[in-house]
Structure 1
Amino acid sequence: MVPTVSLWIGRLIAGAVVIGIVLVGGTAVRVWQVARIDDYTPADAIVVLGAAQYSGTPSSVFEARLYQAGRLYAAGVAPLVITVGGKQEGDLYTEAASGKAYLEDNGVPGDHILAVETGSDTLRSIEAVAAAMRERGLSSAVLVSDPWHSLRTRTMARDAGLSAWTAPTRTGPAVYTRESQFHGIARETGALLWYQLTHFSADFPYEAGQ
């Protein structure tokens, strides 16, 4: 019996749904896998992705990232820490500047910190960092952000021409509860798929700060 047009349409829809489930599920697994990686291989720079700051004081999300960057610097992973991030309308400080001040207050010499005071989302921040590193003849970076953010930041950094790997924070709100972990994986799965499809940032609010 020859399948009817409606049967063919049904099969196509079912196939598309299965492909979508496999694609989303596979991406979520990769987000989870890379989130578990802590690569302390020596690099030219430690790059801290920005998050919210309040009148120069890093938010708890940002502080957790900065604390991890300080640990990596103290362990000799890289001689330079790069903080990155601009400011929201009405802010007096950029994320990069407040991050630099925090690191200085916690023992990292100011001349070993580069504040790249631009970037309102992950993609713009990574592109700004890549440009600043190229100007200085630097090419390798260990990226510090929340665990679930690792795969997307690494993908973007490599697309920008950097040799990049990740050593995310293991403290802070992003890892406190199972709910926050699930939410982070789900959000990053969607954001990464969007980036791979369009090469634009998803512009989720937490990229500019939490």
Structure 2
Amino acid sequence: MPGKWKRWGWSVILLCVLYVLYTAYSIAAFAKVNELFRTDAAIVLGAAVIENEPSPVLTERMNHAIWLYDNGYVKKIIVTGGMGDGDSLSEAEVSKRYAMRHGVREEDVFLEGKSKITEQNLQNAYTISREKQISTVTIVSDPLHMKRALRMAEDLGMDAYSSPTQTSAYRSWRTKLPFLLREVFFYFGYQVQA
């Protein structure tokens, strides 16, 4: 009997490991999905700011959203993200200023400046999109963040498409691997609570 339980325990561990590996693979594979459809707006998921300027991660997200706007893929940009500890401006305010410095018209940028996490970014941006009669959206974030973000957007009822940054600040496996492991952890967490 003890041998049977031991085999059963190892089987469960093996299944868990395989599931983690499959999830990591699916996140990495989805990172390459870039749906360049014309939508009403881009939703840029928040990231840190440094001395009232976008961090390298946020800069790349904004650059991609601005490229989508300049090339006619989106008509508006919804910037998201609240205020971090020690900051005097929210991530969204910094993003809006950056967009306007790069030629985006002020009336084409909508601000969501209260959220702290991805799910809040999307929930609050969805509220704005409904208020502004925006029906289709393109989600912009780092490639490894896209699977979880799109799953959340779809669960909220958004008509959403994936367009990850093409020049992510996470370029080497040394920076990508911790991001991937973090995303696997958060993806599991979201699945459990969803």
Q: Is the pair's TM-score, using the shorter chain for normalization, greater than 0.5?
A: yes
> For this pair of structures, how many residues does the alignment match?
194
The correspondence of residues 1-210 of structure 1 with structure 2, limited to 5 A, is 4=1, 6-174=2-170, 176-199=171-194
Return the offset for 1:147. 0.5
User: Any gaps of 5 or more consecutive residues in structure 1?
Assistant: 200-210
Return the offset for 1:172. 3.7
User: Any gaps of 5 or more consecutive residues in structure 2?
Assistant: none
Return the offset for 1:56. 2.1
Amino acid at match of 2:183: E
Q: Is the 8 A contact 2:52 2:87 kept in 1?
A: no
Looking at structure 1, the residues matched to 190 and 59 of structure 2 have their Cα atoms a distance apart, in angstroms, of 26
Looking at structure 1, the residues matched to 121 and 20 of structure 2 have their Cα atoms a distance apart, in angstroms, of 26
In structure 1, the residue corresponding to 2:39 is in which secondary structure?
A: coil
- Range that drifts further, 10-19 or 67-76: 10-19
In structure 1, the residue corresponding to 2:187 is in which secondary structure?
A: helix
In structure 1, the residue corresponding to 2:61 is in which secondary structure?
A: helix
* Alignment RMSD: 1.2
Report percent identity of matched pairs.
27
Return the offset for 1:160. 1.0
TM-score, length-scaled by structure 1: 0.88
Return the offset for 1:136. 2.2
Looking at structure 2, the residues matched to 173 and 106 of structure 1 have their Cα atoms a distance apart, in angstroms, of 19
In structure 2, the residue corresponding to 1:44 is in which secondary structure?
A: strand
In structure 1, the residue corresponding to 2:185 is in which secondary structure?
A: helix
